[in-house]
Chain A
Amino acid sequence: MLLALLLCYAGWAGLCLSMDRHFLHVSGRPASARHRLGLRLGGWLLLGASLWAALPGHALGVGLVQWSALLMFSALAWVLLLPYRPRLAVWVAGLGLLASPAVAMVSL
């Protein structure tokens, strides 16, 4: 579950930052078209990866429910953290992403 959570959170971060207003809020600079595309693509890929990480070890139904729950929880966590501590929110996403291969090896 931890791996799926980290990937979800990073995925939401990517999708969010691919939007002009949020990228600007976090970095102070507007996003280039390449940034936007990369972040959007990366975001979707990470969300997909989180599904792949959430399913093993459970019946399909249970795995899907867990994935949905993690998606909703991580989205809310990101959105509530972003306006107060934008840098921290992004750091958590980045660190989570870095940690995920290690988490994957331990849990899968």
Chain B
Amino acid sequence: MKEAFRQSMAWLHTWAGLIFGWLLFAIFLTGSLSYFRMEITQWMQPEARLEVVDAGTAIGLAQRYLEQQAPKAESWFITLPDARQPAIGIMWVNHDGFVLKRLDPRNGAELPVRDSRGGDFLYRFHFELQMPYPWGRWLASGAAMLMFVALISGIITHKKIFKDFFTFRPRKGQRSWLDGHNAVGVLVLPFHLMITYSSLVIFMSMVMPAGILAGYGDRPQGFFNEVLPVSDAPEAAGQPGTLAPFGPMLEQARQAWNGAEVGQVEVYHPGDRNASVSLLRRSSDGVIYDPGTGLLLQGSSGQVLSATTLGSWPMRIAGGFYGLHMGHFATPILRWLYFFCGLAGTAMIGSGLVIWLGKRQLKHAGTAVLPFELRLVEVLNIAGMAGLVVAVGGFFWANRLLPVALAGRAGWEVNAFFIAWALMLVHAVWRRGRRAWVEQLGLAALLFAGLPLLDALTTDGNPWRYLLRGDWLMLGFDLAFVGCAGLFAWAAWKVRRAGLPKDSTIARRERVRPARTGALEAEMN
């Protein structure tokens, strides 16, 4: 009885994992990179290496800019700077769309940097998949649900989850791949479960409207007003009005929240008499992502209209999931750990796809030609994994190569990403199996190894100068690029080696070390 259950779960794990496997690989890889999205943005706009200014200065500059540039907008959004994002982020919304800008904290003017989406492209891609709203999010959420099913069914299937907890046997072909898949899966399981379930929670009001409709029937907006009460701002009066300075308002919030800082300022109907200013707490303060703690002030006078804090347990739990997923509170070391856990998830998915194909390829080992379905999986594996890495490299290369003055260059950087990916797909179809892997991984290694050089040639920075300046961000990127290049080169070498006849690859030393290793390995199995 139990065997049949485990077998059905094994079947489910195999197929649930495959269906969106390549999509999930892309989501996990770009998602992992997103933990450094602000750093990536800074790298991609190297012209401005900025210092952080205090909130009072920043808000003053933002207010002045917005009052000059967008006095009649429907709403303003101001993101106050911090160590990871030293520029002042502003956005204004009109009936025909929104405009995003970043201001130089030194003078309040637009940041004189090259037009680029920076790390935000990778961040948005990982949950919107470059698809029109809201379809990308629905697809990503669907993939997340399948990921959840694959995780749980995988746990159920893994019979010896405790016995094999520490087991990893390299150099044994398919066995090693499975051990590796289990290792990155089981040892990092808390992260995988958290990241998957929290991704469902993040879009839960979109994908599961039934609950909201049940509670709020004909007026679902009521739910959002209750959950995010600070957004229930007064309507426009239709008469002009002036805004009080925002600086003292920040101080009011600081006092109301025991010294906690404001992260986001939202202004509704700024030119109107009934303008209101919503102050939201900075999200890096604690684990719980708390959009509910806010202060709503009257725009013209700074008088408090309403104040809310996150109280109830369900809201805390939802906010906790959100916060854990985003990791805004992470210090640099923890951020790197988040990144490595994400890469472990990526490796878990990738190794699963390799195992899926490898098992079935064995059955066709005699024939030179794979049946169509397996060939399809092979092409998708290569293009979806090695090809994606090449695409990321292409994205960074485009950022350094495209002329700064080129119109629409931000869009062209993104295009470079997808063009590179598409080319890798064509390459994977054209070149058979192993060769395609080696060539794409080799190309990825070349691209990433070339980035520090490209950076030195196209900007006024280079690793030595970064070291002297103490610019750890830029230096860190150069080191990371070289590290990645090494990893891809090693992977390409391993794949190539695995394809060569056995004897030519065994080093002389290994051939002369017989009995003892054999006995120990027999014991371990």
Contact = CB atoms under 8 A, between A and B. Distances in A.
Q: Do chains A and B touch in the complex (CB under 8 A)?
A: yes
Interface of A: 1, 12, 15-16, 19, 21-22, 24-25, 28, 59, 61-62, 65-66, 68-73, 75-76, 78-80, 82-84
Contacts of B190: 68, 71-72
Interface residues of B, number: 30
Given A21-B523, A61-B287, A83 B170 contact: yes
Given A61-B286, A73-B337, A79-B183, A28 B166 contact: no
Nearest to B341: A72
Interface string B186-226: 01101100000000000000000000000000000000000
7 contacts: A61-B288, A62-B329, A66-B337, A72-B187, A72-B344, A79-B183, A84-B170
Interface string B152-185: 0000000000010111111000000000000110
Q: Which of B187, B320, B334, B340 has most chain A Cβ within 10 Å?
A: B187
A71 B191 CA distance: 11
Nearest to A76: B187
Contacts of B170: 83-84
A25 B288 CA distance: 44
Interface string B97-113: 00000000000000000
B121 interface: no
B287 A83 contact: no
B349 to A, nearest CB: 16
Contact of B166 (A16, A61, A62, A84): A16
A61 B287 CA distance: 6
Given A19-B166, A24-B523, A76 B188 contact: yes
B523 A76 contact: no
B49 to A, nearest CB: 28
Contact of A72 (B191, B329, B520): B191
A83 B166 CA distance: 10
B288 A72 contact: no
B183 A80 contact: yes
Contacts of A79: 166-168, 183, 187
Given A68-B190, A76-B344, A25 B334 contact: no
Contact of B334 (A61, A69, A82, A83): A69
Top 4 closest pairs, chain A to chain B, by CB: A61-B287, A69-B337, A16-B166, A75-B187
Nearest to A2: B333
A66 B286 contact: no
B338 interface: yes
A69 B183 CA distance: 15
A21 B320 CA distance: 40
Given A73-B340, A80-B168, 9 more contacts: A62-B286, A62-B329, A66-B334, A72-B188, A75-B188, A78-B166, A79-B167, A79-B168, A83-B170
B334 to A, nearest CB: 6
Interface in B378-412: none
B362 interface: no
B168 A83 contact: yes
A21 to B, nearest CB: 5
A28 B524 CA distance: 11
B444 interface: no
B330 to A, nearest CB: 8
B133 to A, nearest CB: 31
B169 A83 contact: yes
Which residue among B166, B184, B320, B523 has the maximum number of chain A CB atoms within 10 Å of its CB? B166
Nearest to B323: A61
A59 B520 contact: no
A104 to B, nearest CB: 18
Contacts of A70: 337
B277 interface: no
Contact of B183 (A16, A22, A73, A76): A76
A21 B524 contact: yes
